[in-house]
């Protein structure tokens, strides 16, 4: 499942490198800044008129043209005049999609004959996202793993745990994963995965060296409890020895001075 998920996102990224085609049968998720095309559905060799509308959150007519003169649309909304394009081979394109472009759009085709009739209407829903950045991991408390991404919209986080032998991967949902001690890090590798509908990013693997700070961190911190008192004891013993040696030198100097006086 993980491979299929990553493949789907990479496939979207490849398409988004050019222009993504919106579908009238599903929600279209877009990265901010890409171009999106809306296919025109018409079933007539006669004269017809096409209107490209935005239905929500604000209703307005974006573009309209007649099949007799498709090169020159007779209506372009000022908000889109620099970014909307009509192509005779059957689609409308909005360039450089922004967050404000999110919403529901409609392409309406009116067939012009003896009687005007509305025959085709296709609705398209766009959702626009900022891609997620590579997740950052902060370790707090008693080895609690906290995952976050500095950028991205509608970001969700999950944890991937892999055993040392590569068998038995597990997934934990949520940004915070409490381990409690380092025993889990000794036998497993953890990675945070941050994702949204248009992107997936993964942190580097977590090792024992990363799980330090306040709280009980396992064997490494237990060594510290022994090393600090031992180091203090060495310093105290060294000071006592140096003091004894200093007193001995002073006593020896006094004795030598008295001997010289008696000799004289």
62, part of any domain: yes
Which pairing describes strands 103-112 and 144-148: parallel, antiparallel, or unpaired?
Answer: unpaired
Residue 222 confidence (pLDDT): 40
Residue 162 confidence (pLDDT): 85
What residue numbers bound the domain in which 206 lies? 136-210
Residue 134 confidence (pLDDT): 95
Which residues on adjacent β-strands are paired with residue 109? 50, 120
Rg (CA), the chain: 36
Which pairing describes strands 176-178 and 170-173: parallel, antiparallel, or unpaired?
Answer: unpaired
Q: List pLDDT tens digits, range 209-255.
A: 666 554 443 334 444 444 556 666 767 767 677 777 677 666 766 55
63 and 154 co-located in one domain:
no
Residue 263 confidence (pLDDT): 34
Tokens describing residue 137:
């991991």
Residue 262 confidence (pLDDT): 42
Taking the whole predicted model, whether its pTM rises above 0.85 is answered as no
Tally the domains of the chain. 2
125 and 178 co-located in one domain:
no
205, part of any domain: yes
120 and 40 co-located in one domain:
yes
224, part of any domain: no
219, part of any domain: no
3-class secondary structure, 151? coil
111 and 175 co-located in one domain:
no
Residue 104 confidence (pLDDT): 96
3-class secondary structure, 106? strand
25 and 123 co-located in one domain:
yes
Q: List pLDDT tens digits, range 90-116.
A: 889 999 999 999 999 999 988 887 666
Question: Residue ranges of the chain with pLDDT lower than 70?
Answer: 1-18, 44, 70-71, 89, 114-118, 166-168, 181-185, 208-232, 234, 237, 239, 245, 248-250, 252-264
Q: Following DSSP, what letter does each residue of 19-71 receive, concatenated? A: EEEP-TTSEEEEETT-EEEEE-----SSEEEEEEEEEESS-EEEEEEETTSTT
């Amino acid at each position: 499942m993980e491979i299929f998920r990553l493949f789907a996102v990479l496939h979207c990224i490849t398409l988004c490198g050019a222009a993504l085609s919106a579908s009238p049968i599903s929600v279209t998720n877009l990265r901010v800044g890409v171009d999106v095309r809306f296919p025109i559905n018409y079933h007539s060799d006669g004269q017809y008129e096409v209107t490209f509308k935005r239905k929500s959150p604000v209703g307005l007519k974006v573009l309209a043209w007649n099949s007799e003169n498709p090169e020159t649309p007779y209506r372009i909304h000022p908000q889109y005049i620099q970014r909307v394009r009509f192509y005779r081979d059957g689609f409308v394109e909005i360039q450089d999609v922004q967050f404000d472009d999110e919403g529901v759009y409609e392409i309406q085709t009116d067939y012009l004959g003896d009687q005007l009739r509305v025959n085709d209407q296709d609705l398209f829903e766009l959702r626009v996202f900022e891609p997620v950045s590579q997740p950052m991991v902060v370790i707090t408390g008693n080895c609690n793993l906290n995952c976050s991404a500095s950028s991205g919209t509608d970001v969700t986080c999950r944890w991937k745990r892999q055993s040392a032998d590569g068998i038995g991967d597990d997934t934990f949902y949520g940004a915070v994963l409490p381990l409690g001690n380092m025993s889990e890090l000794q036998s497993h590798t953890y990675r945070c995965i941050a994702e949204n509908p248009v992107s997936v990013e993964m942190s580097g693997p977590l090792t024992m060296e990363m799980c330090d700070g306040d709280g009980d961190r396992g064997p490494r911190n237990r060594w510290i409890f022994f090393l600090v008192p031992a180091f203090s004891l060495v310093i105290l013993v060294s000071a006592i020895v140096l003091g004894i040696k200093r007193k001995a030198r002073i006593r020896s100097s006094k004795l030598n001075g008295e001997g010289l006086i008696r000799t004289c």
